Amino acid sequence: MEISRENLLKLVNEALKILPNSYAPYSNIHVASAILTESGRIYLGVNVENSSYGLTICAERSAISAMITNGDRKPVAIAIVTDLEEPIPPCGACRQVIAEFNPEAVLIMYSAKTHNYIVKNLKEIFPQPFIVKK
Ligand code: THU
């Protein structure tokens, strides 16, 4: 599927809408993610922190869970939106979890504060995922 600039901007907008729902009272770093799948549907997620810090779930993995919960399987583009000054790339754990479903997903990383953004393919920042053939 060809990922148009229009599709990427729509994803960023969907993520911006739910950014206020991010639960991040400990780090105060708010993150929202929106996933466009091959089927054309969009799934959303935010980071969910916990007083037991290690239990925190990132926005990207929340969105991947929503995608799987709803019976979809292939993310083609993923927006990662934060309120930090600079766009943030997915953490290592999220890279591995996204790669399970599409190691060549397009990522758009966007700062809600400065409107700076970066577009990269997951394979550029995670070239050797651990994937077991099914
Ligand atoms: N975080 C994400 O949601 N996604 C990432 O890829 C990086 C980190 C969240 C987790 C935590 O709530 C906060 O950012 C600070 O680490």
Give me the average pLDDT of each 10-residue run along the chain (134 residues): 89 98 98 98 98 98 98 98 98 98 98 98 97 89
What are the CA-CA distances from residue 117 to residues 53, 85, 89, 101, 133 (Å)?
Answer: 28, 10, 10, 24, 34
Comparing C-alpha atoms, which of 59, 56, 55 is closest to residue 18?
59
Residue 1 has a pLDDT of 62
- Give the number of the atom of ligand 1 that is nearest the alpha carbon of residue 33: 3
- Give the number of the atom of ligand 1 that is nearest the alpha carbon of residue 59: 3
28 lines ligand 1 (CB under 6 A): no
Residue 93 has a pLDDT of 98
Tally of CA atoms within 13 A in the half-sphere of 16 that contains its CB: 15
Residue 134 has a pLDDT of 83
Please give the distance, rounded to the nearest whole angstrom, from the Cα atom of residue 87 to the centre of ligand 1. 12
The reply to whether the predicted model has a pTM over 0.85 is: yes
34 lines ligand 1 (CB under 6 A): no
Catalytically active residues, by annotation: 60
